[in-house]
């Protein structure tokens, strides 16, 4: 079996009054992530990890923030396009392991909905997607509630 592993990392600034999208769902919060698209940091790291695993460069290469067609785009669309790219090379998603670093809000109540959403977009079982959340114990830009960061590791395999 031909398997490959990829990893992703992303950061977005948080600002008051912006919508907060994470893992394809909107979370009610006073602050949301800022970005060219909907700034869904979790989907962005998953895309980066998948693209890296398939040796297809990164999310910025395929979906440039200089390209007007991606302004405000729903990141679920970017994930679908990423899946098309890796599937065109004959790969399928094995599993995805993610960690979101965010001081507030607490994400635990939202994780089942995030996993359901991601599994639906990817076309896989929820058991193949892990979403973990942590704070930075009030340290750094995450701890000061200035931003959100996320990490992803993925396994893909040749069909």
pLDDT bin (cut points 50, 70, 90) of residue 145 is very high
How much is the pTM? 0.96
**Are 47 and 7 contacting, i.e. CB atoms less than 8 angstroms apart?**
no
For the chain, what are the domain ranges? 3-158
75-112 pLDDT per residue, tens:
999 999 999 999 999 999 999 999 999 999 999 999 99
Pair type for strands 91-101 and 147-158: antiparallel
Helix axis angle for 41-53 and 111-122, nearest 10°, is 40
17-75 pLDDT per residue, tens:
999 999 999 999 999 999 999 999 999 999 999 999 999 999 999 998 888 888 889 99
Q: Binding site: residue ranges?
A: 10-12, 36-37, 44, 58-60, 63-67, 134-137, 141, 144
**Are 156 and 4 contacting, i.e. CB atoms less than 8 angstroms apart?**
yes
**Are 95 and 128 contacting, i.e. CB atoms less than 8 angstroms apart?**
yes
Candidate CATH numbers 3.40.50.261, 3.30.1330.50, 3.40.640.10, 3.90.79.10; the one for domain 3-158 = 3.30.1330.50
Q: Binding site for a divalent metal cation: residue ranges?
A: 10, 12, 44
Q: Would you state the pLDDT for residue 67?
A: 84
């Amino acid at each position: 079996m031909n398997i490959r592993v990829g990893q992703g990392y992303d950061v977005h600034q948080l600002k008051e009054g912006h919508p907060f999208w994470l893992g394809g769902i909107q979370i009610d919060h006073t602050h949301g992530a800022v970005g060219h698209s909907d700034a869904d940091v979790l989907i962005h790291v998953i895309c980066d990890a998948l693209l890296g695993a398939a040796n297809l460069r990164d999310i910025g290469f395929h979906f440039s923030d200089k390209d007007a067609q991606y302004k405000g785009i729903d990141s679920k669309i970017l994930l679908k396009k990423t899946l098309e790219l890796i599937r065109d090379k004959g790969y399928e998603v094995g599993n995805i392991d993610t960690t979101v670093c965010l001081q507030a809000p607490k994400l635990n109540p939202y994780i089942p909905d995030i996993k359901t959403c991601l599994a639906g977009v990817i076309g896989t079982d929820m058991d193949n997607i892990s979403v973990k959340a942590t704070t930075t114990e009030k340290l750094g830009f995450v701890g000061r509630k200035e931003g959100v960061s996320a990490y992803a590791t993925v396994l893909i395999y040749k069909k």
